[in-house]
Amino acid sequence: AIGSVEDVDFLTGAFKGSDVVYTMVPQQHDSDDYKGFIRKTAQNLADAIAAAGVTHVVNLSSVGAHLPAGTGPIAGMHDAEGILNKLNGVTIKHLRPASFYYNFFSNIGMIKHGGILGGNYPADTRLVLVHPKDIADAAFEEITTPFTGKSIRYVASDEKTAAQVTAIIGAAIGKPELPWIEFTDEQSIGGMQQAGLSEDVAKNLTEMGNATKAGILFADYDKYKPAFSKRKFEEFVKGEFLAKYNA
- Strands, E, within the chain: which ranges? 20-23, 56-60, 91-97, 99-100, 117-119, 126-130, 150-155, 158-161, 180-182
- Distance (Å, whole) CA 77 – CA 221: 15
Residue 128, classed as helix, strand or coil, is strand
Q: What band does 2 get if pLDDT is binned at 50, 70 and 90?
A: low
* pTM summary value: 0.94
Instruction: Supply the pLDDT for residue 36.
Output: 97
Q: How confident is the model at residue 19 (pLDDT cuts 50, 70, 90)?
A: very high
Q: What is the pLDDT of residues 37-56, one digit of tens each?
A: 999 999 999 999 999 999 99
The predicted-structure confidence for 185-232, as pLDDT tens digits, reads as follows: 999 999 999 999 999 999 999 999 999 999 999 999 999 999 999 999
Distance CA 83, CA 202 (A): 25
Given this model, what pLDDT does residue 70 score?
98
Element (H, E) at 219: helix 219-223
Which residues, including other chains, have CB under 8 Å from residue 78's CB and lie 6 or more apart?
Answer: 65, 66, 67, 68, 71
Find, among 205, 199, 189, the residue nearest to 72 by Cα: 205
3-state secondary structure of 131: coil
239: CB partners within 8 A, 6+ apart? none
d(CA 155, CA 142): 12
**What percent of the chain lies above the pLDDT cut of 90?**
95
Closest of 92, 93, 168, 94 to residue 129, by C-alpha: 168
According to DSSP, the β-strands at 56-60 and 126-130 are unpaired
Contact 225, 152 (CB under 8 A): no
Listed in sequence order, the residues at least 6 apart from 88 whose beta carbon sits closer than 8 Å to its beta carbon are none
Q: How many CB atoms lie within 10 A of CB 177?
A: 7
* Domains (range + CATH), the chain: 2-246 (3.40.50.720)
Q: What is the rounded average pLDDT of the residues 225-243?
A: 97
